[in-house]
Structure 1
Amino acid sequence: MADRDLIEALQTVDAVQFGTFELSHGGTSDYYVDKYLFETDPHCLGLIADAFAERISESKLAGVALGAVPLVTATSVGTDLPYVIVRKKTKEYGSGNRIEGVLEDGEEVVVLEDVATTGQSAIDAVGALREAGATVNRVLVVVDREEGASERLKAEGIELEALLTASELLDSS
């Protein structure tokens, strides 16, 4: 069952917009879930962090830069669990890191994401974390657009758990 308070909060900040939108994977959609509207609103961010916290035990957290950084930060503060940030590609200056923060070999990590469409961003992040020695089996996402992310992640041995699905969000609009 969808969290009614979270749906109402996303609607209040107009996080779901209708029209024709190009998505990051190159496809188009007649609606867009604007993660920056819900991630920059303290009430929405707090509800999301609380919902993520209810689903996480003693794992380290990871967020994909840039979109999931507010989510992982708020969740970390609320749970007192440490986190790392996964860059989309290795930094070409300074330390040259792809993963920022402390990550121990064999550490269990849960990836937090904003919106999942194809799941490619999450798959890339999990791959980088696994390459660095982490154990990653779960991705938690605010909204699953229900466009193949769950199936693609499952094929990689990763469970996708969404706070909301696009169907739940759109049915309430």
Structure 2
Amino acid sequence: MTGATDELISALTDADAVKFGEFELAHGGTSDYYVDKYLFETDPHCLDVIADGFADRLEGKLPAGVALGAVPLVAATSLKAQSPYIIVRKQAKEYGTANRIEGQFEAGQEVVVLEDIATTGTSALEAAKALRDAGAVVNRVLVVVDRQEGATERLAEADLELEALVTADALLEQ
């Protein structure tokens, strides 16, 4: 493990974001552990460590966060990287501009999707599709935690590379 991975695991642990027991997950499955994104996204130290990790991996590309979960992540990363950012809604809003994508980018611009936790990869995949449909070039998804339950393979089928700041294996061996 790298020092950055150890620092993130320590920050997640200190924020009490990793819970053990029996939990139902968003996709309907169950797990004997849960990573509480709201605890790590509302903890200033955790958010700082995550933003550093994401900013280091952007490679000059525009970050996009999936609403609602990744909005704090993409905002903090934007500040670290000194880059504008995009928010991708799960569906177009039904009022005002009726946008699904908030923020500005040019057609053909490279965008990296940021997400909190990858299990099946569904929300990241849907965000990447919406961005691609709007003209962005999307090849990568960065996540805080990869639960290693199929997201990597599912995203690869859509020509998306998944890169995690920490994997479930590394997180749980602490």
Q: TM-score, normalised by structure 2?
A: 0.97
Structure 2 residue corresponding to 1:145, chosen from 144, 147, 153: 147
Cα offsets for 1:119-161 (capped at 9, x unmatched): 0000000000000000000000000000000000011000000
Q: Which runs of 4+ in 1 moved over 4 A?
A: none
Give the alignment of 1:15-164 within 5 angstroms: 15-164=17-166
Is there any run of 5+ residues in structure 2 with no aligned partner, and where?
none
Q: Give the residue type in structure 1 aligned to 2:59.
A: S
What is the Cα deviation at residue 20 of structure 1?
1.4
What is the percent sequence identity of the aligned residues?
Answer: 67
Q: Give the residue type in structure 2 aligned to 1:29.
A: S
Q: CA–CA distance in 1 between the matches of 2:82 and 2:49?
A: 16
Q: CA–CA distance in 2 between the matches of 1:61 and 1:8?
A: 25
Is there any run of 5+ residues in structure 1 with no aligned partner, and where?
none
Q: Number of residue pairs matched?
A: 172
- SS of the residue 2:7 aligns to: helix
Q: Give the residue type in structure 1 aligned to 2:20.
A: F
What is the Cα deviation at residue 18 of structure 1?
1.0
Q: CA–CA distance in 1 between the matches of 2:62 and 2:54?
A: 13
Alignment RMSD, CA only? Answer: 0.8
Q: CA–CA distance in 2 between the matches of 1:89 and 1:24?
A: 17
